[in-house]
Amino acid sequence: MSTPQNIPFIEAQDQEIAACIRGEENREANGLELVPSENYISKAAHEALGSCFTNKYSEGYPGARYYGGQEFTDQIERIAIERACKLFGCKYANVQPHSGAPANIGAYYGMLKPGDTILGMDLSHGGHLTHGHPVTHITKSFNFVRYGMKNPDTGEIDFEEMREVALREKPKLILAGFSAYSRELDYQKFVDIAKEVGAYTMADMAHIAGLIAGKAVKNPFDYGFDVITTTTHKTLRGPRGGLILIREDADLAKKIDKSIFPGLQGGPHMHAVASRAVAFGEALTPAFQEYAQQILKNAKAMEKVFLDADIRLMGGGTDNHLLLADVFGSLNVTGQEAENVLDEVGITLNKNSIADEPRTMFDPSGIRFGTPAITTRGFKEEQSARVAELMIEAMKNKDDQAVKDRIREEVRDLAHAFPIPDSFV
């Protein structure tokens, strides 16, 4: 078991909240997290997150704050920026966004004017809400047009369609990135089309930032992308937060800084910035590169089990940390049913729409799962494949309590054999 959090003051003062914390610790310790956007942070990053920096208001940027008493906040933010730039091979970074959505929105306003056109991936083909879904407020400010996959069973992006849309709509920004897409992108084609129409290029790498930092997949900056946005959790294995990286354009970096503050946010959460700095330091170690490579190996091991069981995987498989399975089409189990039964046996993932979804988003055909968190626990290919086998068995026997009880015991045994580590270095 990982070391429980020391919370004597909460336990003495607020029993209800203490019980919730202990309950969540117990859930995490006894089950397996497969949500691709979830991971564990180290105790060191956790300590920084709970540090005295939460007391300090730090509107502005290092050397240009609006309040006094900023000696150590400036040091923390400069360290975080330096480490982020080193990780991703760029000249400028903004470490202040509270999460991934503000990072994207801040980047849009830094690069564009209201009414400008953005070309991004269709949500139903793997894109993200902030890439132009009509339910979001950002669509009131910018005109979003979309591209998608040519074939959902191979994951191939329809670059001919993308080019046609770009030539017709003249976007000011072409956006690469996804929340439920399992293949590696051809960044050069994005850059070529952007140059043809005079657009910026931005990669939303929230899901695979850790794989980029760990040199396990390609870096969009190596192909000339202007901006990368990301979250700092998921594969990057830090606390929840956002990050904007600018390859080399100093003027663009200044515009994006101004867009984040004062344009979008007030003071940064300096305790979170301190924790991100710790996580960036961990990601600069050789051990993190090994971790990133193992994420891919584990995902491939799970891919094989699902394909051998004749379960349809969107994109035909995976090149990264996640898989999206059409369980309704393959097993006649809805995404919601699958999520529920897997919760029962201690395996946590999320229901997810598939391309050209025939059902509703609230009870879709698919499930989305991935390997960042189990890899943090030390899982290798053998254990990852076994988890995939248990998932399929549970879904096929969703109404058999005896089978589910047996699987639950094995999941608990696996979780205990591979406890959440306290340290990554």
**Which listed residue (201, 231, 318, 376) is catalytic?**
231
Residue 139 falls in the annotated catalytic set: no
Q: What is the pLDDT of residues 6-49, one digit of tens each?
A: 999 999 999 999 999 999 999 999 999 999 999 999 999 999 99
Q: Could you tell me if residue 4 is inside a domain?
A: no
Whether residues 298 and 396 fall in one domain: yes
Domain range for residue 157?
Answer: 47-283
In the predicted structure, residue 361 carries a pLDDT above the cut 90: no
Domain CATH code at residue 147: 3.40.640.10
Whether residues 110 and 253 fall in one domain: yes
**Which listed residue (59, 381, 389, 410) is catalytic?**
59
Whether residues 230 and 303 fall in one domain: no
In the predicted structure, residue 279 carries a pLDDT above the cut 90: yes
**Over residues 46-63, mean pLDDT:** 97
Q: 132, 53, 60, 44: which is closest to 94 by C-alpha? A: 60
Q: What is the pLDDT of residues 309-347, one digit of tens each?
A: 999 999 999 999 999 999 999 999 999 999 999 999 999
**Which listed residue (33, 204, 319, 337) is catalytic?**
204
Residue 59 falls in the annotated catalytic set: yes
Whether residues 66 and 173 fall in one domain: yes
Q: What percent of the chain has pLDDT over 70?
A: 100
Q: Could you tell me if residue 37 is inside a domain?
A: no
Whether residues 103 and 252 fall in one domain: yes
**Which listed residue (65, 240, 276, 398) is catalytic?**
240
- For residue 177, the tally of other CB atoms under 10 A from its CB is 25
Alpha-carbon distances of 227 from 92, 223, 230, 243, rounded to whole Å = 10, 11, 10, 11
Whether residues 77 and 124 fall in one domain: yes
**Which listed residue (43, 57, 136, 297) is catalytic?**
57
Among 224, 248, 283, residue at a domain's last position: 283
Whether residues 242 and 380 fall in one domain: no
Domain count, the chain: 2
In the predicted structure, residue 4 carries a pLDDT above the cut 90: no
Q: Could you tell me if residue 321 is inside a domain?
A: yes
Confidence of residue 179 (pLDDT cuts 50, 70, 90): confident
Confidence of residue 403 (pLDDT cuts 50, 70, 90): very high
Residue 57 falls in the annotated catalytic set: yes
Strands 117-121 and 173-177: parallel
Residue 204 falls in the annotated catalytic set: yes
Alpha-carbon distances of 424 from 29, 86, 287, 289, 375, rounded to whole Å = 17, 19, 8, 12, 12
Whether residues 220 and 324 fall in one domain: no
Distance CA 22, CA 133 (A): 37
Whether residues 278 and 292 fall in one domain: no
Q: Could you tell me if residue 32 is inside a domain?
A: no
